[in-house]
Amino acid sequence: MPTAWESRRALNLVADVAVAASLQLLRSTTGTAEQRRYDLLGGVPEVVAYYSDGSAALAADFYDDERAAANVSGPFTSDLIVADRTVKLRRAIAWSAEPLFDGDDVLAGKRLAEVVQLEAARPYRDTITGNTERDPQAIGWRRVASGGCPFCRMLADRGAVYTERTARFSAHEHCHCTAAPAFVGYDGPEASVQQYRASRRNRTPEQQAQLREYLKEHYSD
């Protein structure tokens, strides 16, 4: 049975292959910038959809393995959760294609890699967090950080469990963190107020400044 870190490495491999396929598609486009953008809008969503299914399946297998290892009572089969993000994905692809109008394929590739990596990894995290909401034996989920980033280290610190349904998995560009379920009997602490606050989608400028100072004080290398 793979550990959380081994499952994270497997997810990173899936995301890396998705990025490579998308960059190959970018390199294969020809013609005007408008035509190349059109081709990306047609092809990249298919790439993301293919690897999103693999990402979600990987998470579902990991969830079921973790549940079995926790030896909790009651049957449960995890669902694959792949959200329909067609509109947001197309907007992100159009954004990544903007540098093509200036002849900058390098920047376009960098942007496209950011978009695809995030989108390919999202179903894994959504499958873990979504199934913890359905499973009566799950108390929440915890973040498995990849190390390095102070923000991610803070959100994962102490093996904190996010039990509130409103908690979101906050991810940045090239974020390689994953989620793992926590079941009844898990002895880790609940996420702190600071961890919950930092995971919010929208933060005021004052909250952003406070978070930067907090990370600098507690998580700087």
pLDDT tens digit sequence for 107-142: 999 999 999 999 999 999 999 999 999 999 999 999
- Least Cα distance to 4 among 159, 175, 219, 189 occurs for 159
Tens-digit pLDDT profile for residues 92-110: 999 999 999 999 999 999 9
Span 174-192, pLDDT tens digits: 888 899 999 999 988 998 8
CB 30 within 8 A of CB 105: no
- Place 221 in a pLDDT band, splitting at 50, 70 and 90: low
Could you give the angle at which helices 4-28 and 105-134 cross, rounded to 10 degrees?
A: 140
Nearest CA among 68, 15, 41 for reference residue 178? 15
* Beta strand extents in the chain (DSSP E only): 138-144, 161-162, 178-183
Q: What is the 3-state secondary structure (H, E, C) of 71-118?
A: CCCCCCCCCCCCCCCHHHHHHHHHHHHHHHHHCCHHHHHHHHHHHHHH
151 neighbors 117 (Cβ within 8 angstroms)? no
List, in order, residues 6 or more apart from 54 with CB less than 8 Å away: 14
